[in-house]
Structure 1
Amino acid sequence: MAQTPRPASDSSVSTPASIDSPDMHRAGRELLSLALIDARNHTLHLLSLYEQALGSAALPVPRELQAQEGMQPPVWLAGHIGWFAEWWIGRNTQRAFGADCPVRPTRLAAIDPGADDWWNPAQIGPERRWSPELPDLAQTKAYLLETLESTLELLEHAAETDAGLYFYRLALFHEDLRGEQFVVMAQTLGLPLGIEQAPVSVVREPLALPATRWSLGRDEAGFAFAQERGAHRVDVPEFEIDAQPVTWNQFTEFVDDGGYDREELWHGEGWRWLAAQAEGRRGPRHVEQIGAARSATGGSVLQQRFGATVRAAGHHSAVHLSWWEADAWARWAGRRIATEVEWEIAAHTAARRGFRWGDVHEWTAGTLQPWPGYRADPWSGGGEFDPAAGFGRARVLRGASFATRARLRSMRRRGFALPQRDDGFLGFRTCAL
């Protein structure tokens, strides 16, 4: 029997204040069109910065870095962004079903006959993505402009409903996520992008919050990733939580106290991970030197930051930390990593008391689990954004980093990563035991 798209309620679309608003998950056609243009311009700008920093339109990446976790050929990643939008919008004849779209919908031919062979991750493995036979930067930029034009034309005629706009919102947020991936890769490669970290702020004392019953998860209209859906109530006892992520000053004390040499502080898996790191790791990734730090502006953490060696401010959030390192620090300090519900409660209710977030993505306690009524997204199966692959293994990340696009900076956003990941802008905060 033929399927017909189900209608959505009239309340499914709202008008955010701007394309930078976290409410863009409910945006209508007009703002979505502007935001999609903004996202594509940002991608093209990042490609220009890469070309300038690497001195070649080939965007060469040293062979020894090509196998690093999270690393992709920059030109391939850009082409994949355009391909993803075309795959799920321009070529998807059943896009109007939105989240109810079949996993394998009927598809039209691609703008470029070679698109699937070049940019479909299911067809081109990690090693082949580095092949010089793939489209060059100029061809890839042309493809990005063609696919954007096609997307915008189709958007003009899309239904102004959650289902009708689902894949357009997805394409926007997918490109924003890839934009931060470009920044993370630039840090790994040591490329100067001219991105500034947030200014140092005053470190505040931990905050005490009362017991409460809290609603986790999204069930309201608008776009949400699968791991964020499924509103449910949670009883939360009173707790004390850090007002800001753990700072370099605080983390340095752990290092000075031999934290990287004390097996009793580490989770068993974390200790094995540490032992497997090259050259006897004794500090976070990208740190060249770490010692006693005593001030907000002149700590003794020397860090590689986009190709330059800088002295990290003592009151800046410690960054490029794996979950294993965060857990070891918390054990050493006699504290525990905050749970995601504790983080969300504090973010919503304690801002006026000094709760600060947005410098780093923050690890939380426990593993990623589906929420009640979990239903997989039609587009993510088996890919890097598929939460099901991480259930029981990955750790939840809350908040945002300085490199996160403003419209993704939501207090309800629920990211995830395997506990060994430290390439991203990752930190943590703790609670009292």
Structure 2
Amino acid sequence: MIITSEIISFFLETRQHTEEICAPLETEDYVVQPIEDVSPPKWHLGHTTWFFEEFILKPLKPNYTLFNKDFAFVFNSYYEAAGKRVVRSNRGNLSRPTVSQIYEYRDYVTQHLVELMEEGITKEIYTLAELGIHHEKQHQELLLTDIKYILGHNPLLPKYSETFDENCIEHIPEKWIAIEEGIYKIGHKGKSFCYDNELGRHKVFVPNFEIRNTLISNEEYLEFINDDGYKTVSLWHADGWNWINENTINSPEYWHNVGNDWLYYTLNGLVEIDKNAPVTHISYYEAFAFAQWKGMRLPTEFEWEIAQEKFKWGLRWEWTESAYLPYPNYHKPEGAIGEYNGKFMVNQKVLRGGSVATPKKHTRPTYRNFFQPHLRWQYTGIRLVK
């Protein structure tokens, strides 16, 4: 049963939270794009708005008038079927539209979508609106991590917030959880929201394994660094070894060696390493090398999903040893929406869990995040299996 007031409330709550994330920014912060993987905050504001306009208002609201016919070209991300777009690496070169114009665009689309839903929500509108809400929640996480990259690579290392706590500590004793071999069901079940890449619930056989209930800490990762982990070729994939040498990588992202001390940049500014906090901003290459150093390995995404009910998760996106592939009987949706997940199922690793930047009401045990193995601007961490 579709309850109109609930989906409208969820929509408005989500739109407001995006703008709350941007509230501490100065106008100049909205435009910066230091690398291709990091988009300017104002682009996120526009893109999440375009998504609702393109996939709901344009086709489904009678007599809808576009806010600006050129905005689709600016704010389309990768939806080939939706038309031409600005190349991703050029998003930071656009001084126009202005930040104030983008906020006007957000208000315009928000108002029109609420009007449409108040007139009566069909199943099609509900499905697309729910997808759009979770799409915006994904971009809320990207907003925080992109803002951190923008400010964390400013030589002044400015603070974003005095209150955002990204170094939550697991106050539980470390232990290893034994999981018996057997056939387990994997994938989303029920009628609650999920992405298409979680569907195709199926059985897998998993041998015996033990998984740690806590994440690897900064203190443990420092031991790896001090034992020349970044200099020991036998620990690394060939691609990983090339990556750390070509890019002079010798510590996690945002770590700074000052004298004999390690500091790291957080959204609260530059602080001393909290040795008890889970290590973060780790690439898959580094996670794999650390696991090799410990004589262990990373979990597969199936092992992670089977074991997740037995430990606390959500502090870091956890690298798995699984390639990002479709589940059996996966069906890509028709049209541009089908480009949401399916076309990325190659050359990427699956991450599970969630992070301190993941918004509420967004993640779940079957959620499959995915990144290329060298990326580490997200809050990524390590859990081990033996």
* TM-score calculated relative to the size of structure 1: 0.79
- Percent of pairs identical after alignment? 25
Question: Hey, what does 1:130 align to over in structure 2?
Answer: 92
Q: Provide closer, same or farther for how the CA distance between residues 431 and 258 of structure 1 changes in structure 2, counting only shifts above 3 A.
A: same
Question: Hey, what does 1:236 align to over in structure 2?
Answer: 206
- Of 356, 360, 366, the residue aligned with 1:406 is 360
1:164-179 to structure 2, matched below 5 A, reads: 164-179=125-140
Q: Which amino acid aligns with 1:388?
A: K
Q: Which amino acid aligns with 1:389?
A: F
Question: Hey, what does 1:150 align to over in structure 2?
Answer: 112
Q: Which amino acid aligns with 2:143?
A: F
Question: Hey, what does 2:10 align to over in structure 1?
Answer: 35
1:75-114 to structure 2, matched below 5 A, reads: 75-93=42-60, 110-114=66-70
Q: Provide closer, same or farther for how the CA distance between residues 90 and 370 of structure 1 changes in structure 2, counting only shifts above 3 A.
A: same
Question: Hey, what does 1:46 align to over in structure 2?
Answer: 21
* TM-score calculated relative to the size of structure 2: 0.89
Shift of 1:396: 0.5
Check the 8 A contact 1:155/1:168 in 2, yes or no.
Answer: no
- Of 304, 308, 316, the residue aligned with 1:360 is 316
Structure-2 separation of matches of 1:244 and 1:209? 16
1:268-319 per-residue CA deviation (whole Å, 9 max, x = no partner) reads: 1111111121xx2211111113999xxxxxxx64211126221232221110
Q: Which amino acid aligns with 1:170?
A: L
Q: Provide closer, same or farther for how the CA distance between residues 255 and 149 of structure 1 changes in structure 2, counting only shifts above 3 A.
A: same
Q: Which amino acid aligns with 1:285?
A: E
Please tell me the root mean square deviation across aligned C-alpha atoms, in Å: 2.4
- Of 195, 206, 210, the residue aligned with 2:164 is 195
Shift of 1:139: 1.1
Aligned: 1:288 with 2:263 = no
SS of the residue corresponding to residue 49 of structure 1 reads: coil
Aligned: 1:185 with 2:146 = yes
SS of the residue corresponding to residue 323 of structure 2 reads: coil
SS of the residue corresponding to residue 142 of structure 1 reads: helix
Structure-1 separation of matches of 2:90 and 2:385? 45
Check the 8 A contact 2:41/2:147 in 1, yes or no.
Answer: no
Check the 8 A contact 1:283/1:290 in 2, yes or no.
Answer: no
SS of the residue corresponding to residue 221 of structure 1 reads: coil
Check the 8 A contact 1:166/1:223 in 2, yes or no.
Answer: no
Q: Which amino acid aligns with 2:126?
A: L
Structure-1 separation of matches of 2:344 and 2:303? 25
Aligned residue pairs, count: 370
Structure-2 separation of matches of 1:153 and 1:216? 39
Q: Provide closer, same or farther for how the CA distance between residues 325 and 203 of structure 1 changes in structure 2, counting only shifts above 3 A.
A: farther
Check the 8 A contact 1:255/1:291 in 2, yes or no.
Answer: no
Shift of 1:206: 1.7
Q: Provide closer, same or farther for how the CA distance between residues 413 and 419 of structure 1 changes in structure 2, counting only shifts above 3 A.
A: same
Contiguous gaps of at least 5 residues in structure 2: 78-83, 152-158
Structure-1 separation of matches of 2:118 and 2:57? 13
1:391-432 per-residue CA deviation (whole Å, 9 max, x = no partner) reads: 2x1000100001101111211111111111101000121100
Aligned: 1:213 with 2:183 = yes
1:219-240 per-residue CA deviation (whole Å, 9 max, x = no partner) reads: 5324321211100011222210
Question: Hey, what does 1:59 align to over in structure 2?
Answer: 30
SS of the residue corresponding to residue 72 of structure 1 reads: coil
Moved over 6 A (4+): none
Structure-2 separation of matches of 1:39 and 1:184? 18
Q: Provide closer, same or farther for how the CA distance between residues 107 and 250 of structure 1 changes in structure 2, counting only shifts above 3 A.
A: farther
- Of 289, 299, 302, the residue aligned with 2:263 is 302
Question: Hey, what does 2:343 align to over in structure 1?
Answer: 388
1:319-358 to structure 2, matched below 5 A, reads: 319-348=280-309, 350=310, 355-358=311-314
Contiguous gaps of at least 5 residues in structure 1: 1-9, 14-27, 96-105, 293-299
Question: Hey, what does 2:101 align to over in structure 1?
Answer: 139
Aligned: 1:370 with 2:370 = no
Structure-1 separation of matches of 2:188 and 2:63? 30
Shift of 1:322: 0.3
